Amino acid sequence: MIINCHCHIFSLEYVPKGFRNRFLLDTRNPLHRLIHRLLRTILPDGSSLENFLDFAGLAISEISETLVKEMDQAGIELCTPLMMDMEFCEPFGGQVKCFEDQISETIEAVEAMNRKSGRPRMLPFIAADPRRKDVVDIVIGALQGGAFKGVKIYPVMGFTPDDRRLYPIYDYCMRNEIPVTTHCENGGVPGLDDYYHLAHPGYWKTVISDFPELKLNLAHNDRTGNSWQPVITDLIMMYPNVYTDISYDREMFYKPARYFKSIKTMLNTPKLQERVLYGTDWYMGRYLWTEASYLNWFTAYSRKIPWCRIEFTEDEIRRLTEENPRSFLGMNRIKATCRRH
């Protein structure tokens, strides 16, 4: 069972208006709508950019349906949609739809897709921003409600992950074996360049030393300047439940040989090989790839690129897309418990 450990289904209603205006994504703005129509007349039918523009006006339920369709085409069985809390996003802050509405819409969309499929397809993670009033009660309450299966931290919004206001959430997650995924890349939402450094894995050293059993995914496995990945690797080697995922990192396009060789090495290094997770960051890069084409980067394209020629074995792909994600999500533990009973 292939599992995508990193994707998104939030709609643009929950993205600050300042961001939507800067990138011409406000569907209520007549000028933006005009530009979109002009682009559609120029772009070839079915182009990736045209498909990406389609997301601008979709609700969470519609985005989730699109994701599941692409998952079916790619042979992906399960995914973990990660919420984003962008109300306090420093340069663009404000003018977003209520966070509680995003929570309820996400729950409704996920439950509808799971019912329609007759089996779980989506295990959503709730966003946690320490600046939100009552964030601990909101997040823990959502987890206790059962709809959310994990927590998403996005420091690039303007905070560091070692913010003490998040500690009760980390404590609850560690004690209940609930996974946490954090953005850990020197990049992210365009226009937040001055905040990218807040996602550095070094900020997690204090957190993990205080919560050594915390199940944590340092997402994107960033190699920026060769300084981020060694810290990620050290944390994985030192603590039993630290992971990293291979959701979009720009190096896969401009230095594919180094990128794929690094992942292959990790998949064959003791301890590291058990902590690398598959993820696509859908729909953030939907203008570049689909769920199927992203998976093909690892199963086919990496060995076909003349200046790359990195081939992943079936065992490596299975470890990356199935075994490690099951471990991160606690599915092996759940299965073992069911067998005992």
Q: Are 197 and 186 within 8 A, CB to CB?
A: yes
Q: Are 167 and 210 within 8 A, CB to CB?
A: yes
pTM for this one? 0.90
What's the rounded mean pLDDT across residues 170-179? 98
What's the confidence (pLDDT) of residue 322?
98
**Alpha carbon 340 to its chain's center:** 33
Mean pLDDT (the chain) is: 89
Measured CA to CA, the distance from residue 20 to residue 323 in angstroms comes to: 38
Nearest 10 degrees: CA dihedral of 25, 29, 31, 34? 70
Segment 95-107, tens digit of pLDDT: 789 999 999 999 9
Segment 118-171, tens digit of pLDDT: 999 999 999 999 999 999 999 999 999 999 999 999 999 999 999 999 999 999
Query: Which sequence spans correspond to the domains of the chain?
Result: 2-340
Q: At 302, list the tokens.
A: 């990496």
Among 216-220, 221-225, 273-277, 320-324, name the one with the lowest average pLDDT: 221-225
* CATH of span 2-340: 3.20.20.140
Instruction: For residue 87, give the 3-state DSSP assignment.
Output: coil
Q: Are 61 and 112 within 8 A, CB to CB?
A: yes
Task: Please enumerate in sequence order all residues whose Cβ is within 8 A of that of 300, keeping only pairs 6 or more positions apart, or say none.
Answer: none
Segment 14-56, tens digit of pLDDT: 988 777 666 555 666 666 556 556 655 665 565 555 566 666 6
Segment 197-247, tens digit of pLDDT: 999 999 999 999 999 999 999 999 987 666 899 999 999 999 999 999 999
Task: Between 18 and 329, name the one with better pLDDT.
Answer: 329
- The type of residue at 172 is Y
Altogether, the residues listed in the chain come to a count of 341
